[in-house]
């Protein structure tokens, strides 16, 4: 089996290397994590790099020697853990990071790699852009540096829009509904050809309103095979189907996914062939507790939600998202963080 997989990957990279294309967007199979490569004749851009050396290995197989820009969306290990390997093996021109501190060894190694390099470090703000030939990268979120922000790491996650002629892709990292609402409220351009589903296809992201604003032709999520978070969540797959007509690809089933475009038309190549989805599981099968429809007893399965708060939730419905639980007495940022990290609460179909 290992020999067969190696052969298939070899053919995949041979095909990719042989393309005479203008823009390649690689959603790299980094396991349970996120890592994307944008490559043109003028530049190589990496947006997140997973948790290990997988991204560096992938770039080496593509023949990359220089990375013009690395974007670190936020400080979680499954996004920045692989970045020090990039600094070890490639010349890095510039790094964008939101500036927020984190107390992990992975984050310390990330900082050490930046400090030991000659890369230009920047904390970009909404609207800031960089151009490589006809490839234009624009920051959609956050509004500015998160160096002083003490909230959840996902709140100030960097979201990037890439435009190449008539083709566009939005790379969300782990942006959640709150960030999506902010982007919609600011009026940034969201309509795009391709959308990376936020937070690996988690129910904390990809609201129906955001999906309708983007109206992607293709959506891609990055998640590990049989991951412990049940990503992608069924609620999100259902939302994508209800709000768009997009084709859905995932690294857990397709392996690395490469979209090749001349800026007008595009084609998609995958490392593995996935069977079509024959049935979408029910929300009950995922263990998701919908705060807009669940009973009082079901709501008490959510951390910090006792019977009294459950009755308050029922009385305060509907909620635009899990973050709206701040409206409930006694739920502040710390408890909301615990609720989001538990991954059980969701708000389906009403926003």
Are 301 and 309 spatial neighbours (Cβ–Cβ below 8 Å)? no
Number of domains in the chain: 2
pLDDT at 131 over 90: yes
Write the DSSP symbol of residue 140: E
d(CA 317, CA 133): 49
Tell whether 209 is covered by a domain: yes
pLDDT at 21: 56
Tell whether 282 is covered by a domain: no
Mean pLDDT of 220-232: 89
pLDDT at 279: 36
Tell whether 126 is covered by a domain: yes
Are residues 202 and 296 located together in one domain of the fold? no
Are residues 95 and 146 located together in one domain of the fold? yes
User: How far lies 91's CA from each of 41, 70, 86, 143, in Å?
Assistant: 17, 11, 8, 29
CB pairs under 8 A, 24+ apart, for 335-341? 335/303, 335/304, 336/152, 337/151, 337/152, 338/303, 338/304, 339/302, 339/303, 339/304, 339/305, 340/152, 340/154, 340/176, 340/204
pLDDT at 325 over 70: yes
pLDDT at 185: 97
Are residues 101 and 153 located together in one domain of the fold? yes
d(CA 52, CA 302): 32
Tokens found for residue 174:
């782990």
Tokens found for residue 343:
């991954």
Write the DSSP symbol of residue 238: H
pLDDT at 15: 52
Mean pLDDT of 290-297: 80
Mean pLDDT of 130-143: 98
The full DSSP string for 170-181 is: EE-TT--HHHHH
Are residues 178 and 260 located together in one domain of the fold? yes
Tokens found for residue 102:
């984190």
Are residues 252 and 296 located together in one domain of the fold? no
- pLDDT-derived band at 289 (thresholds 50, 70, 90) equals confident
Residue that finishes a domain, picked among 270, 305, 324: 270
Tell whether 77 is covered by a domain: yes
Residue that finishes a domain, picked among 240, 270, 300: 270
Are residues 334 and 260 located together in one domain of the fold? no
**pTM confidence score:** 0.77
CATH of the domain at 37: 3.60.15.10
Q: What range defines the domain where residue 337 resides? A: 287-346
Are residues 231 and 341 located together in one domain of the fold? no
pLDDT at 7 over 60: no
Are residues 251 and 339 located together in one domain of the fold? no
Mean pLDDT of 44-69: 98
pLDDT tens, 74-99? 999 999 999 999 999 999 999 999 99
Tell whether 276 is covered by a domain: no
């Amino acid at each position: 089996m290992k020999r067969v997989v190696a052969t298939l990957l070899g053919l995949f990279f041979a095909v990719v290397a042989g393309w005479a294309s203008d823009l390649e967007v690689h959603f790299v199979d980094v396991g349970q994590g996120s890592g994307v490569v944008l490559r043109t004749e003028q530049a190589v851009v990496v947006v997140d790099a997973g948790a290990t050396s997988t991204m560096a290995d992938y770039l080496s197989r593509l023949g990359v020697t220089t990375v013009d820009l690395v974007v670190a969306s936020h400080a979680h290990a499954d996004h920045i853990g692989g970045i020090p390997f990039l600094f070890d093996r490639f010349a890095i021109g510039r790094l964008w990071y939101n500036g927020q501190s984190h107390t992990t060894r992975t984050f310390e190694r990330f900082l050490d790699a930046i400090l030991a390099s000659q890369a230009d470090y920047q904390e970009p703000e909404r609207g800031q852009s960089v151009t490589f030939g006809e490839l234009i990268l624009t920051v959609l979120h956050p509004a500015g540096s998160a160096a002083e922000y003490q909230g959840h790491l996902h709140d100030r996650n960097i979201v990037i829009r890439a435009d190449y002629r008539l083709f566009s892709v939005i790379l969300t990292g782990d942006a959640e509904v709150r960030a999506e609402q902010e982007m919609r409220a600011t009026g940034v351009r969201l309509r795009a050809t391709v959308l990376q589903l936020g937070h690996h296809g988690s129910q904390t992201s990809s609201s129906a309103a955001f999906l309708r604003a983007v109206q992607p032709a293709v959506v891609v999520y990055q998640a590990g095979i049989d991951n412990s978070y049940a990503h992608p969540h069924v609620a999100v797959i259902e939302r994508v189907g209800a709000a768009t007509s997009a084709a859905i690809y995932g690294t857990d089933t397709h392996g690395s996914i490469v979209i090749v475009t001349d800026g007008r038309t595009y084609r998609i190549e995958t490392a593995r062939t996935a069977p079509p989805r024959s049935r979408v599981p029910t929300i009950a099968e995922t263990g998701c507790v919908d705060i807009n429809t669940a009973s009082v007893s079901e709501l008490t399965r959510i951390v910090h939600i006792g019977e009294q708060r459950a009755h308050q939730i029922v009385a305060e419905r509907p909620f635009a998202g899990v973050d709206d639980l701040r409206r409930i007495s006694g739920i502040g940022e710390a408890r909301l963080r615990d609720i989001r990290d538990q991954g059980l609460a969701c708000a389906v179909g009403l926003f």
